[in-house]
């Protein structure tokens, strides 16, 4: 058994040395697929840059930001130019008219509710940012899970190959003993069966490695024909349960989304008071300069604007012309003011405020519930990691026991000259059963290692920790 552990240790060490060597830049001779060496940080960087899901989420965010800029265009200065040309001929009289005005306006201030279009654009940006972050986190976790799978598969292949070499040597010795009539044919068949089980497992692992590597290449955007070599394993996380819960609460995108919903809903509830504000409009003019106060009934918004529209080119017309509809110049000043005070609205404002406050309280309760669920989920996954680790240790011990039982039975059936207590009266059925138990113990142990790695990554996903 110690010899077997030594062989496994040497095989694992050889794999580690080979991985480090493969991490060095390799010369390119232009033949065959290119070998790409990856470290975890580099693989994650490539996934964030090249993964289609992340890039699509990024484009959605860019579109939302562009739409927000479009919604805010009204708050920037507006400049234009208007020209008129009219012509009339009455008998021998040919009258022409030319007029050109410059139009310049700017929004001085705005108060009241945030316009619905602007509010929707802001919300779209906020939601798109969250989805973009979620896509990046999902991509990182996918790369990390594949990294675990590929690393464990390569280690298992290395260890099983070491066992295969030992079994191959054992089979040669068994065939030699059988030829000399020193052991029975069933003993030789049992060794051949054990070797076949190892070779089958190796073939399955190679196919699994091929699929996982192809998926890693897809996520990172590498050349599909490239060969990938992983330069190192992911380090173990050392974190306490308290810190894990704190990380999850800080990193949770769902909580971040709910916090944004709550802030927006608080604003909507406060904005209901504007329904009590008087309907107000006003205008002050001095020559070509106008200052306007306009109300938008739909959004309960008041805009104060300044507009300047001087005539920059004018040709005077005959005052009797049919085209004379407005004075060409504006002299003097003008003031207009309109005020409408609502006294009773049938409790519309009160009902609207109650509705918004109820929605706000629901969001606050949802936030509290979500926080509690995250705490429980982190605790559950944290304990699952501990369970998986203990199970892996138990299955490793079980594997050692099954192997020791199998080798002892083989020694007894090979007619060893001394008796081993508890192993008298054995048959080849016992050897076949021990072989099956050993093969199953191998499968369970390697699966337990994968379950342990998956449990650790599941905890990271629950914590939304991608560092």
Domain ranges of the chain: 237-276+346-467
Residue 290 contacts residue 306 (beta carbons within 8 Å)? yes
Question: Where residue 415 falls among pLDDT bands split at 50, 70, 90?
Answer: low
Which is more confidently placed, 244 or 25? 244
DSSP 297-317: TTTTEEEEEEEE--EEEE---
Mean pLDDT of 108-115: 86
Residue 173 contacts residue 22 (beta carbons within 8 Å)? no
- Residue 108 pLDDT > 80: yes
Closest CA to 201 of 163, 252, 148, 151: 163
pLDDT in tens, 251-265: 999 999 999 999 999
Range in 85-94, 109-118, 158-167 with the lowest mean pLDDT? 85-94
What mean pLDDT is reported for the chain? 83
Rounded to two decimals, what is the model's pTM?
Answer: 0.79
Is it true that domain 237-276+346-467 has CATH number 1.20.1600.10? yes
Mean pLDDT of 434-449: 89
Distance (Å, whole) CA 6 – CA 162: 10
* Residue 206 structure tokens: 């190679």
DSSP code for 114:
P
Closest CA to 214 of 227, 202, 205, 201: 227
Q: Are strands 301-308 and 35-38 parallel, antiparallel or unpaired?
A: unpaired
Mean pLDDT of 123-149: 95
Distance (Å, whole) CA 63 – CA 257: 19
Mean pLDDT of 54-60: 96
């Amino acid at each position: 058994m110690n010899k077997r552990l030594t062989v496994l240790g040497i095989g694992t060490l050889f794999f580690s040395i080979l991985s480090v060597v493969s991490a060095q830049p390799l010369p390119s001779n232009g033949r065959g697929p290119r070998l790409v060496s990856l470290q975890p940080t580099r693989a994650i960087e490539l996934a964030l840059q090249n993964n289609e899901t992340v890039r699509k989420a990024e484009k959605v965010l860019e579109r939302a930001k562009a739409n927000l800029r479009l919604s805010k265009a009204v708050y920037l200065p507006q400049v234009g130019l208007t020209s008129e040309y009219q012509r009339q001929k009455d008998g021998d009289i040919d009258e022409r008219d030319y007029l050109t005005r410059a139009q310049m306006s700017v929004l001085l201030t705005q108060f009241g509710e945030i316009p619905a279009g602007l509010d929707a654009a802001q919300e779209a940006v906020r939601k798109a940012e969250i989805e973009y972050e979620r896509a990046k986190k999902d991509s990182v976790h996918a790369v990390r899970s594949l990294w675990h799978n590929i690393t464990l598969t390569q280690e298992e292949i290395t260890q099983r190959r070491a066992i295969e070499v030992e079994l191959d040597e054992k089979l040669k010795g068994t065939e030699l003993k059988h030829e000399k009539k020193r052991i029975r044919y069933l003993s030789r068949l049992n060794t051949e069966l054990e070797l076949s089980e190892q070779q089958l497992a190796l073939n399955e692992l190679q196919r699994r490695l091929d699929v996982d590597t192809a998926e890693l290449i897809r996520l990172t955007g590498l050349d599909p024909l490239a060969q990938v070599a992983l330069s190192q394993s992911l380090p173990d996380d050392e974190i306490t349960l308290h810190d894990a819960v704190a990380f999850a609460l800080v990193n949770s995108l769902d909580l971040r989304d709910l916090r944004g919903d709550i802030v927006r809903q608080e604003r909507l509830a406060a904005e209901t008071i504007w329904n009590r504000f008087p309907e107000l409009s006003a205008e002050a003019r001095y020559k070509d300069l106008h200052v306007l106060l306009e109300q938008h009934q739909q959004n309960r918004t008041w805009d104060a604007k300044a507009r300047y529209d001087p005539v920059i080119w004018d040709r005077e017309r005959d005052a009797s012309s049919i085209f004379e509809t407005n004075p060409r110049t504006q002299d003097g000043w003008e003031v207009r003011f309109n005020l409408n005070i609502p006294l009773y609205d049938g409790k519309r404002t009160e009902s609207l405020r109650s509705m918004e406050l109820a929605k706000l309280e629901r969001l606050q309760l949802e936030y509290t519930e979500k926080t509690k669920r995250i705490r429980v989920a982190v605790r559950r996954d944290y304990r699952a990691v501990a369970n998986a680790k203990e199970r892996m240790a138990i299955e490793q011990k079980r594997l050692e026991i099954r192997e020791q039982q199998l080798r002892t039975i083989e020694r007894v059936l090979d007619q060893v000259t001394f008796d081993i207590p508890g192993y008298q009266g054995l048959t080849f059925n016992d050897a076949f059963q021990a072989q099956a138990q050993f093969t199953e113990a191998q499968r369970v142990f390697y699966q337990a290692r994968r379950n342990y790695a998956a449990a650790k990554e599941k905890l990271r996903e629950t914590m939304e920790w991608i560092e």
